[in-house]
Chain A
């Protein structure tokens, strides 16, 4: 069989809208030049592509000033910039217990180096973070709260706006990891009290890999993570302070950003709210199929309104890696087994040691109800019942 059912959209989305492939190809063949460097026509054309992407991102997140949208190679670098650029010696930082390692590891390292004190706030067994519990953990020296808006293991959507109200009142920075939420649920930075929003361009935003970024709120000042050529203020040997150049040293990923811009145009045309409704229907179907398989345990909210299209499960008596391998080899269904770079999230739901993680099925806008039904039928066959 050569039919592929791709249920690994939380790792990276596939396929992309047709326009994305065309935009990458067009950039490579017809534009090619480095944005922001030379003054010739192709460099200007490349610069306009980057400007369009930035302006679309600003619109998507409700931000007025597109120079506050900094482009990075992925969400991990954006998170590192936000965390290491904002925290200083002696600061206290709070995060949830379902954070991805791209948040947890930078924080653990800063804590291990004695730079910051770290509090990891436990989430409920469904992966939900309580704003009241976050509030109780705040200290006079708390500078930053980090929250994954939607868990990459459970899909759980966090009450970010409620947490934002608390951090705003206390003058604490709120960093949101939107790797799993951008493009999947509507996000409004100012309305949610978000100071820093890190996103992947290659997941729910449907752009190519090698894209991501950090939106930096108007009053937020970060140290740069790296310094280098920006194509601007080149007479100075010290890093310029103007955004976005301050945080964008080195040649940008022109083809990737062109693809991301095309993906954002596609998202604008579809509407994120409409896509979210569609993904909710698919998630409801997926949860329904899983509930009908004997011996399957589903983790997380199990409610399409409280989660993204990410569902983790285990099968009684079966190794998670073996289940994923069989789904791939026998049925052409591509899922991801294991810890999903989020050991703390698996600790929260009790699957870290007991089962070695979960099998994760994550859907995208190009998946269909038929695929979800086929998945259910295959699992029932696997369960032997």
Chain B
């Protein structure tokens, strides 16, 4: 069974792309995906990453003042 994923959603494309880059720099596997409609309509792009790393992701985004509109665990 694959590891469970989480999704971060954003208010702007800038924030989504910046988050992707920050995760890359931190060697965290992150992938931009079309934002699932049931989660948010704020920005077309969302960032998917392993749920086990949620705390680290939160910490990195906070440290770089990248605002999220939500963070969700995917089923």
A residues lining the B interface (CB < 8 Å): 35-39, 43-44, 47-48, 50-51, 54, 64-67, 230-235, 240, 242-245
Contacts and interface: CB of A to CB of B under 8 A. Distances in A.
Interface of B: 11-15, 17-18, 21, 32-35, 41-45, 65, 67
Contacts of B11: 232-233, 240, 242, 245
Contacts of A64: 65
Contact of B12 (A37, A235, A244): A244
19 contacts: A36-B13, A36-B44, A39-B35, A39-B45, A47-B17, A47-B45, A50-B14, A51-B21, A54-B14, A67-B12, A67-B18, A232-B11, A233-B11, A233-B41, A233-B42, A240-B12, A242-B67, A245-B12, A245-B13
A62 to B, nearest CB: 16
A232 B17 contact: no
A381 B15 CA distance: 59
A38 B11 CA distance: 15
Closest 7 CB pairs of A and B: A39-B34, A36-B13, A242-B11, A39-B44, A235-B41, A51-B17, A232-B43
Contacts of A233: 11, 41-43
A232 B18 contact: no
Given A44-B32, A242-B67, A67 B45 contact: no
B44 A65 contact: no
Give the one of A65, A235, A242 with max B CB within 10 A: A242
Contacts of A245: 11-14
Given A44-B45, A67-B18, A242-B67, 13 more contacts: A38-B44, A39-B34, A39-B44, A51-B18, A66-B14, A66-B18, A232-B11, A232-B42, A233-B42, A242-B11, A242-B12, A243-B12, A245-B14
Contacts of B67: 242
B65 A232 contact: no
A94 B61 CA distance: 39
Contact of A65 (B13, B32, B65): B65
Nearest to A35: B13
Contacts of B43: 231-233
Contacts of A240: 11-12
A88 B34 CA distance: 40
A244 B34 contact: no
B67 to A, nearest CB: 7
A47 B13 contact: yes
A243 B14 CA distance: 9
A162 B33 CA distance: 48
B44 A37 contact: yes
B58 to A, nearest CB: 18
Nearest to A218: B65
A234 B41 contact: yes
A100 to B, nearest CB: 29
Nearest to B18: A51
